[in-house]
Amino acid sequence: MEPNDVFLRAFFHACFTGDLSQTQKAIATGRLTAEDLNKGLKRATHSAFPDIVAALFDAGASVSTSTIASLPGPNLQQQPSVVRHFLDHGLDPNSRLSTGEPLLPMLRNPASARLHLDYAPCLEGGIASYFSASSKGDKQKDLRRITSAT
């Protein structure tokens, strides 16, 4: 096994398990590429570790289709602070997952969904365009669920 493979595995494991100290040590080496940082961001986002997400964004990770895919978080219950980091680093509230589905219905944590909705009016069209599209029934249920729980 190559030394870099061991290093990257340890970095990805630290991101996935919430080991901020090890994540910061790996970042400090300067050996991580933008692709490595984004892979770490996917893992930290999926596991809902806001401190690691913040450290990775600070180190140069970016919002992308692949990192957004992990944003719904564990059991679709993402931490609002993780969503905030993504929004603060350029997430478009109207983003869609790689499957074409809107991101909003995938955020089952009411506080995360509310935060996501609060950003939407800032953009042309806003998230309201999602709710005004066809098949309103399910979308209106999503909106009621989100707004009544916050």
- For residue 49, the number of C-alpha atoms closer than 13 Å in the C-beta half-sphere is 23
- For residue 102, the cross-strand partners are 96
Q: pLDDT band at residue 95, thresholds of 50, 70 and 90?
A: confident
What Rg, from alpha-carbon coordinates, does the chain have?
A: 17
**In the numeric block, which tokens belong to residue 101?**
């589905």
pLDDT at 121 over 60: no
pTM of the model: 0.78
- Say if residue 63's pLDDT is above 60: yes
Return the domain boundaries, the chain: 1-62, 63-150
pLDDT value at 113 more than 60:
yes
